[in-house]
Amino acid sequence: MLSRMSNSSLTLQNHSFISTVPDISDRLRSTLIILYSIDLAGGTLGVVVMSHQLFQRRSQSAMIIIIINLLVLHIFLLLSIPFRLSYYILQEWKFGTFICKLVSATAYLHMYSTFTFYVSIIVIRLFQLEFNKCHTIIWVTAVWMLGALVIAPVFLSYYGTSRTYPSSRCFQFQQEMEEAPMVVVNYCLVGVLLAVCGLLTILQLSVMCKLTVKYWPDINSHVEFRAQAKSFFFTLVTIVCFMPHHIFRIYYIQNLHLDKDHKLFTYNEIFLALTTMCCLDMLCFIAGIAH
């Protein structure tokens, strides 16, 4: 009798939880499908063509090594996108909880690892630093080891474990943001990214203004200015793709408890999808925007 009552109580709790899980509206779902489809098509084209160009150059400079690692990061993201598209098209998750968390983790690991490599490119160009192949490989390997052996296992072990989530839903771990440790971690990530991006943008614009005054009107004929213009492209990608998500995250965390109609959750999904658009950077290179 007690067993039946316990099972009945558990069933009611699960039904109650499922009823509070937000359904993605048709408009949002269509927007997400479009964004991720663009990522998949454009990102794949960019990776293939840029890989072909790098193979022909056979260069081993620090910048080329970083670009190669960006390509690898984009490949991991592109491999996860079909799972997202399947979920948004079918409106049901069919791959289990672990794969759901893995695909979710991929988006965040890609975002912060890509940001790290962007910052490296900007700093190297900004301060005209020289790194040999060995030193570059060492710190790039350290970034991969930190992400693969520390951050990813912690994310997969603890994220999405404080609540019981229905297996047919995915990417809806917003209740985790109510936990104090998650709030602290998110505020720290937001603060670091905004501070670094803001500082580098100011320095980059300052240097470009000085070079413009120095070399005007033939600025495009000078290698130094063109190099800064190329690195400023990565600054623009960071501003467009990463900053909106992090600025909104502050508002999202502070008002999550008021999100009764789940509008903030839907907006957060759009901003997260915007961060994945950075995988189109290689396509922009090919199109001549940054090259």
Q: Residue 63: its pLDDT value, please?
A: 85
Question: Is 157 part of any domain?
Answer: yes
In a domain, 58, yes or no: yes
Model pLDDT, residue 17 = 42
Instruction: For residue 17, tell me if it sits in a domain.
Output: no
**251 within 8 A of 265, measured Cβ to Cβ:** no
CATH number for the domain that contains residue 118: 1.20.1070.10
- pLDDT at position 77: 96
DSSP-derived secondary structure for 194-208 = HHHHHHHHHHHHHHH
Q: Which of these, 112, 57, 107, 61, lies nearest to 84 by C-alpha position?
A: 107
Q: State residue 23's pLDDT score.
A: 59
Nearest-angstrom CA–CA distance, 164 and 158: 13
pLDDT truncated to tens, each residue of the chain (291 aa)?
Answer: 444 444 444 444 444 444 444 556 788 889 999 999 999 999 999 999 888 888 877 667 888 889 999 999 999 999 999 999 999 999 889 998 889 989 999 999 999 999 999 999 888 888 877 777 788 888 899 989 988 888 888 888 877 676 677 778 887 777 777 778 888 989 999 999 999 999 999 999 998 888 888 878 777 777 777 778 888 888 999 999 999 999 999 998 888 877 666 678 888 889 999 999 999 988 887 765 444
Question: Is residue 66 included in any domain, yes or no?
Answer: yes
Q: Domain range spanning residue 241?
A: 25-287
Rounded distance between C-alpha atoms, residue 271 and residue 245, angstroms: 5
Q: Are 270 and 32 in contact (CB under 8 A)?
A: yes
Q: Is residue 108 part of a domain?
A: yes
> Is residue 78 within 8 Å of residue 279, measured between CB atoms?
yes
Measured in residues, the chain has a length of: 291
13 within domain boundaries:
no
Work out the number of other CB atoms within 10 angstroms of the CB of residue 241.
22
Q: Collect all residues with Cβ–Cβ distance below 8 Å to 22 and sequence separation of at least 6.
A: 172, 262, 265, 266
Number of domains forming the structure of the chain: 1
Task: Please indicate, yes or no, if residue 114 is contained in any of the structural domains.
Answer: yes
According to the 3-state scheme, what is the secondary structure of 261-281? Answer: CCHHHHHHHHHHHHHHHHHHH
Is 282:49 a contact under the CB 8 Å cutoff? yes
User: Contact, 124 vs 131, CB < 8 A?
Assistant: yes
pLDDT of residue 98: 87
Q: What is the pLDDT, as a whole number, of residue 129? A: 76
Confidence (pLDDT) at 159:
73
